[in-house]
Structure 1
Amino acid sequence: MLGTPACKVHTLPSCPTYFLNLFGSCVPRVYMSRISIKRPPAMPYNKASTKNLPYTTLLDIKSQKHGLRHKVFSVNGDTYTGEWQDNKKHGNGTQVWKKSGAIYNGEWKFGKRDGYGTYYVLRPETKKYAKKYDGEWKDGKKHGYGMYIYNNSTVYDGEWRVDLRSGWGRMYYENGDTYEGEWIKDKNHGQGIMYMANRNCYEGTWRDGKKNGSGKFYYCDKGQLYEGFWVDGEAKCGTLSDLERDRAPKPTKYPIPQVHLDSIYYYSHIQLARFFSPLC
């Protein structure tokens, strides 16, 4: 029984000399070019020509800032050291303003302060730098969470919206008062607590920087509590009662008496009897 002959696979080399060895000199040279293996052409690379561009445009292209630069001087004397993208400050960098002496060190996005950064000012009396704002920025303005230092005694620590105190925040005032609560457009607005330097405290609703609505005022120095309604910072109606009067540093001379009814049923019967009694 005859078996199937084994097939042997030959791998043809890419060089045309294989055919010369196989057929000898009977292969004309003209066919050698036809059987030569041609490689695919390389991908085309079109480079923009700058031959016909004006000289000023060529200078502008060469001066485009991109990536990290050591220091760039502006015409007005300001300096910037940091990262660039498309000829704009983008990334981390430090800006120094010559006229005011202020310094910003932080993140930039397309030429504006954006991200986290710290702003310093130069104090003329001491010629030393002091931190003014430390926090988040957006489109060149304070936006997000940050701390702004007005002076050594006045500090705001909280949320910002478009350069204004908005959201939740804590404000330390120069006179010793402290406000903790909600803000809208640089004013106390919403729910908040004002701790005063004399230990008194107001807890309640605010509107446009004033006490408005329901609230409680704790007279901790006198040991009294006022609960009521406020309009534009003035108490309109409410109740005043003693609260830890014995522990107050300056209690009132006389305590507020407690008013109560001995028997509500007794007084209700009297009122009913007067209502239904015949007229004289």
Structure 2
Amino acid sequence: MLIQRNRKCGAQFTQSKGIHTLERGKTTRSMVRDCVLFVNAWLWFIISMNYTTSRMFMFIHLFKGMGTQVWKKSSAIYQGEWKFGKPDGCGTYSVLLPETKEYEKKYSGMWKNGKKHGSGTYFYKNSAVYEGEWGEGNRSGWGRMYYDNGDIYEGEWMWDKSHGQGLIKYTNGNWYEGAWEDGKRNGNGKFYFSDQGQLYEGFWADGIAKCGILSDFGRDQAPKPTKYPIPPLELKEPQSVFGIDEQQQETP
């Protein structure tokens, strides 16, 4: 048996049959074993994480092209193109009707990053239908909306509301053509009262006519004309009567 002292820390250890034992009772062999186990555990963790990450990357990367997905909870189904695990390209989204157990088409058109984007047609719960351009899942750009009450709007959209220039035709025969903002008539526009044979042309704010000119338009063919026609303007100098001089009239 050989007793030695560590010069750096002053600890004594005994050597017997190839086993080095510290005075505290812990063998250097067990310390090496613990160190090896610790290193192996870290290596296994790093390798497993890299393997899982690579498998996930391969799954997402390969999840592209044509494919079909059925949602387990709602039984909705998507058929079309995929890219990076999301609908991207041309595809159709349908839902299952619980009453008839048949699928009803909800949207057919272009997708981008899992949202409706580009040209497409959306079928609402009632008979309303929208066909036109989409952006980030909202009606944006040019489009035509067929409402369930029979009204038809054709024009520009932004963030799912009529915005810009557009024309709407009502079921009673009247129609409006002009500027829109946030889903309401805003700006300059013309409203044709075809049932009464009159035309209003002027400025609108939040769907209400503020300032404009009302005149007869197709009164002879109107189904419900007004009792009295609007008399023609016969003033020689209407600008001076209304307080508008020529200089103000020429000012843009």
TM-score, structure 1 normalization: 0.64
SS at match of 1:218: strand
- Structure 2 alignment gaps of length 5 or more: 1-42, 242-252
Separation in 2, partners of 1:101, 1:168:
32
CA gap of 1:165–1:62, structure 2 versus 1, over 3 A, is closer
1:123: Cα distance to partner?
A: 1.3
Which residue of structure 2 lines up, in the alignment, with residue 237 of structure 1? 211
Specify whether residues 112 and 252 from structure 1 end up closer, same or farther in structure 2 by C-alpha distance, changes over 3 A only.
same
Report the residue type matching 2:117 in the other structure.
H
Counterpart selection for 1:213 from 177, 187, 193: 187
Asked whether 1:172 is paired with 2:154, we answer no
Task: Provide closer, same or farther for how the CA distance between residues 65 and 127 of structure 1 changes in structure 2, counting only shifts above 3 A.
Answer: farther
Aligned-pair identity (%):
62
Q: Which has the larger radius of gyration?
A: 1
Per-residue CA deviations over 1:48-100 (Å, capped at 9, x if unaligned) read xxxx978967985997797xxxxxxxxxxxxxxxxx664x4211000001110
- Distance in 1 (CA, whole Å) between partners of 2:122 and 2:71 is 19
Are residues 1:105 and 2:75 paired? no
Match of 1:246 in 2: 220
The residue correspondences of 1:122-133 to structure 2 (distance < 5 A) are: 122-133=96-107
Other-structure match for 1:145: 119
Aligned counterpart for 2:95 among listed residues 115, 121, 125: 121
Matched, 1:154 2:119: no
Aligned partner letter, 2:83: K
CA apart distance, 1:151: 2.8
Note the alpha carbon deviations across 1:94-153, whole angstroms, 9 max, x for none.
Answer: 000111010000000010110000000111222210000000000000111100111342
Which stretches of structure 1, 4 residues or more, deviate above 6 A after TM superposition?
52-55, 61-66
1:94 correspondence with 2:62: no
Residue 223 of structure 2 aligns to a residue in which SS?
A: coil
Q: Is the partner of 2:63 in helix, strand or coil? A: strand
Q: Deviation at 1:156?
A: 0.8
Q: As a proportion of its length, which structure holds more helix?
A: 2
Call closer, same or farther: CA 1:61–1:134 in 2, change over 3 Å.
Answer: same
Structure 1 CA distance for aligned equivalents of residues 85 and 97 of structure 2: 26
For 2:160, the equivalent position in structure 1 comes to 186
The whole-number CA distance in structure 1 between the counterparts of 2:78 and 2:197 is: 49
Q: Secondary structure at the match of 1:246?
A: helix
1:204/1:53 CA distance change after superposition, 3 Å: same
SS at match of 1:236: strand
5+ residue gaps in structure 1?
A: 1-51, 67-83, 269-280
Number of corresponding residues = 196
Q: Give TM-score scaled by structure 2 length.
A: 0.71
The SS at the match of 1:252 is coil
